[in-house]
Each structure stands twice: as structure tokens, then as C-alpha cells.
Amino acid sequence: NAGVTQTPKFRVLKTGQSMTLLCAQDMNHEYMYWYRQDPGMGLRLIHYSVGEGTTAKGEVPDGYNVSRLKKQNFLLGLESAAPSQTSVYFCASSYTAVLNTEAFFGQGTRLTVV
Amino acid sequence: DAKTTQPPSMDCAEGRAANLPCNHSTISGNEYVYWYRQIHSQGPQYIIHGLKNNETNEMASLIITEDRKSSTLILPHATLRDTAVYYCIAFYAGNNRKLIWGLGTSLAVNP
């Protein structure tokens, strides 16, 4: 049982480049989330999805786009990377809106923008 | 969502109980208290959650005060592998699905 899988695990980008982070879950969860974690700060929600074909903005959505074309996948895109987007990115999924259920997290993607 | 306050760091001797406090004095009646931990730089791991009653599972116990303004996570027999950052979160899904994470408590279990 793989749970939540993130690819890639590490990436270095140049300023202005674009990339897509992939999150895949095999638990048939409806809800999926993208967070970023920076030193000295807690996890901050970027975007989330409450089901296939739906997405919504979190706390810090600027500079990111997401898509949920398939229930099991949640993609996070950076159209024009900036050094401020250097961070560790975590994907999570849950059966419901984290009410009476737990969220499962991936192992993270460490992104450096130079 | 209610703001939570936790001490930045704690120490515990291996084999002893680790008691991690959390203050959530502005919690509302429909907000649950969740605990997660993050070992090194791995993804956060769910531990336990509760609303009013005390809860216990194979990992930990959660004690919530009667007025729900604070709670304590108890790891009954801490091991070195319990060294992690522990996050206390008060959350109500409702129409706002934003789970707000603080900085947590960095627990060091010492041999």
C-alpha cells in the first residue's frame, strides 16, 4: 500500500523555469492538499481539492496552479519559478475534510529555485 | 479556526511518559483538536484527535480539559524514535477547510 506518493523528491530550478509536482494517492480519497513548509514557519496550505475536477485556493496560492483531472492525482504547477518558492512541498489526502478522519502525507519534494 | 499555543521545545527521558501541552483557549464548540508529528523532514504523521472526551489509541492518549481550552498529548513510554516535532491543531471543516499549522513542539527523547 503506497499511500501518498510525490514526484520528484528533489529538484533545482532556475528562476523563470516552470515545473509540475505530481501527487498520487491510492486510497480513493476525495480530498487532496498541497502545502509548503519553510524554516521557522508551520505548514501553509497552497491549494486543495474536494474531489475530481475541483480545486480551491488555500492560504498562499499566488504563483501556483493546480489540477485534479483524476481522483487519484493532484498536480501542482509553477509557471515561472521564483527564489521565494524555494521550499519543501508536501501533498496530503484525506477521506473527508479532515473531520473525524486523518490526513495522510507524502514524503515531500525539496525544491530549490536559484 | 482557533489558534493553538505550544512550547517550542521539550525533553523527555527514554522510557518515561512525555506530556506535551497545547493551549487552545479560543476553541469553539465544533472544533476538533488534532495532533500530528513530523519526524526529521518526513511528511507529518497523524497521531490522534478528539472533541470533548479523552481519547487513546496505540500511539498516544489525548486529555482534553473540561472547558476544552487546553489539551495534553501523552506518549506513555517515549522511545528515541518519538523524537519529532509535534503539532497541535484545532480545526473545524465546515465551509473552511484550511488546517492551520503552528510551529509545534520539538520533543527530544534522550537515552
Distance from CA of B9 to the nearest CA of A (A): 13
Distances (CA, A) of B19 to A60, B16, B40, B49, B72: 33, 10, 20, 15, 6
For B104, phi and psi rounded to 5 degrees? Answer: 75, 180
- With beta carbons under 8 A apart, name residues in chain B contacting A90: 43-44
Q: Residue A35: pLDDT above 90? A: yes
Q: Taking Cα atoms as reference points, which of B92, B90, B89 lies closest to residue B30?
A: B92
pLDDT of residue B95: 46
Interchain pair B97, A56: CB under 8 A: yes
Q: What is the pLDDT along chain B (111 residues), one digit of tens a residue?
A: 567 899 999 999 999 999 999 998 888 777 888 899 999 889 999 999 998 889 999 999 999 999 999 999 999 999 999 999 999 988 765 544 556 777 899 999 999
Question: Closest to A42 (Cβ–Cβ): which among B45, B49, B102?
Answer: B102
pLDDT of residue A40: 80
**CB count, 10 Å around CB of A22?**
15
Question: Closest to A98 (Cβ–Cβ): which among B87, B91, B102?
Answer: B91
Interchain pair B97, A106: CB under 8 A: no
Q: Which DSSP letter does residue B68 get?
A: S
Q: Which residues, in sequence order, are CB contacts of A70 under 8 Å at separation 6+?
A: A52
Q: Taking Cα atoms as reference points, which of B88, B78, B74 lies closest to residue B36?
A: B88
- With beta carbons under 8 A apart, name residues in chain B contacting A56: 97
Portion 65-104 of B in contact with A at CB < 8 A: 87, 91-93, 97-104
Q: For A110, name the nearest residue in chain B, comparing CA atoms only.
A: B41
